[in-house]
């Protein structure tokens, strides 16, 4: 990247230097034309002896010279401006494509890991079940682990499929009346059953009805809760309430939090904070991107802020269809 930036800057400097050199040469040529024409005029005057004509000729020559100068200056500065604008456009798109390709290679790394590790875990659990004659409790444990890994694979595949369908315009969303309170209760209950010691649900709003696609909204709620559980090891709070004809779904965690500089970037496709090689938490950088898209489709909003004393608060707000 640094090598290309240096090469690019050198090339740009060369083009500018060449342009200035050509400008200098043109001006020099114009001066010589002026001197030559002046000489011709003087020779003519010596022959004819009309000094009034010489004066008028000299004024015209000076006028021509200054017009040439303005033309060179005008055209030169236009070229320079075009070069600068073009260079800025090329440089920003180059940087953007470099960033995207880095994010995509990060995505490939994490997806490969995300796909391989649940498969490996399931294989190991099933081999243990096959090989040993385990007691009922241990068997149950291994089966539950397999189901958990299969759920993870399922979530990952749905996110990836959903992302590509949404981008290709193939996902046909359903616009129906949804009891958002009931949907939030179901999702929160499901997580409370899976993580009894970590979920604190405080779902106040009853009968908060919105218009939208149930599957999409369910995915948005899942993504926020999954993240809170993944990026923190403390209890996660889920709140639901209505205010000003909107329903709010809030997920608060006490994890590491998100730096202010990354708070907008995390909603970009494939964006993950930090470096893939040193990251411990699994993921693909698609969850928040999709959640934001889902909110856009439902005329809703997603926001993130710091939790106190630690962690983050993610909040979805959706307009009520009827309360």
Which residues are near ligand ADP by CB under 6 A? 223, 227-228, 231, 253, 255-256, 258, 266, 271-273, 283-289, 312
Q: Which residues of 286-310 are buried (b: 16+ CB within 10 A; e: fewer)?
A: bbbbbbbbbbebbebebebeebeee
Residues 158 and 294 sit within 8 Å (Cβ to Cβ): no
Q: Closest approach of Cβ 170 to ligand ADP, in Å?
A: 21
Closer to ligand ADP at the Cβ: 135 or 260? 260
The contacts found for 149-158 with CB under 8 angstroms, 24 or more apart, are 149/118, 149/119, 149/121, 149/122, 149/125, 150/118, 150/122, 152/114, 152/118, 153/115, 153/118, 153/119, 155/222, 155/226, 156/111, 156/114, 156/115, 156/284, 158/219
Would you give the DSSP letter of residue 250?
E
Q: Which CB, 98 or 264, lies closer to ligand ADP?
A: 264
Nearer to ligand ADP, 212 or 285 (CB): 285
C-beta separation of 250 from 239 below 8 A: yes
Least spacing, CB of residue 104 vs ligand ADP, in Å? 14
Residue 312 beta carbon to ligand ADP: minimum distance, rounded to whole angstroms: 5
**Shortest Cβ 78–ligand ADP spacing (Å):** 45
Nearer to ligand ADP, 208 or 220 (CB): 220
Nearer to ligand ADP, 33 or 192 (CB): 192
Backbone angles phi, psi at 316, to 5 degrees: -105, 140
Angle at 209 between CA 205 and CA 215, to 5 degrees: 105
Question: How far is it, in rounded angstroms, from Cα 117 to Cα 145?
Answer: 13
Shortest distance (Å) from residue 16 CB to ligand ADP: 41
Nearer to ligand ADP among residue 139 and residue 263 (C-beta): 263
CA dihedral 75, 78, 83, 86 (to 10 degrees): -140
Least Cβ distance, residue 206 to ligand ADP (angstroms): 27
Smallest separation (angstroms) from ligand ADP to the CB of 245: 28
Nearer to ligand ADP, 149 or 181 (CB): 149
The encoded tokens of residue 193 equal 């059953």
Does the N-terminal peptide bond of residue 309 adopt cis geometry, omega within 30 degrees of 0? yes
């Amino acid at each position: 990247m640094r090598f290309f930036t240096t090469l690019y800057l050198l090339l740009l400097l060369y083009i500018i230097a060449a342009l200035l050199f050509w400008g200098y040469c043109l001006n020099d040529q114009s001066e010589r034309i002026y001197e030559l024409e002046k000489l011709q005029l003087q020779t003519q005057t010596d022959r004819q002896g009309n000094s009034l004509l010489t004066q008028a000729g000299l004024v015209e020559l000076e006028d021509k010279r200054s017009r040439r100068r303005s033309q060179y200056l005008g055209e030169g500065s236009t070229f320079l401006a075009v070069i600068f604008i073009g260079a800025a456009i090329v440089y920003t798109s180059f940087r953007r494509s470099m960033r995207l390709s880095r994010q995509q290679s990060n995505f490939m790394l994490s997806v490969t890991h995300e796909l391989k590790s649940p498969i490996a875990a399931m294989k190991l659990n099933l081999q243990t079940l096959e090989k040993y004659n385990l007691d009922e409790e241990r068997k149950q444990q291994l089966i539950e682990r397999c189901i958990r890994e299969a759920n993870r694979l399922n979530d990952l595949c749905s996110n990836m499929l959903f992302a590509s369908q949404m981008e290709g315009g193939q996902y046909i969303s359903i616009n129906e009346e949804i009891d958002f309170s009931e949907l939030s209760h179901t999702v929160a209950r499901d997580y409370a059953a899976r993580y009894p010691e970590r979920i604190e649900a405080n779902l106040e709003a009853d009968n908060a009805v919105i218009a939208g696609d149930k599957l999409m909204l369910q995915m948005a709620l899942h993504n926020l809760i999954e993240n809170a559980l993944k990026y923190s090891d403390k209890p996660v709070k889920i709140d639901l309430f209505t205010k000003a004809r909107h329903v709010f779904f809030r997920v608060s965690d006490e994890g590491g939090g998100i730096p202010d500089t990354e708070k907008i970037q995390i909603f970009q496709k494939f964006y993950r904070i930090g470096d893939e090689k040193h990251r411990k938490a699994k993921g693909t950088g698609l969850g928040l991107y999709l959640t934001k898209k889902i909110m856009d489709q439902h005329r809703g909003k997603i926001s993130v802020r710091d939790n106190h004393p630690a962690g983050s608060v993610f909040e979805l707000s959706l307009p009520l269809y009827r309360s």
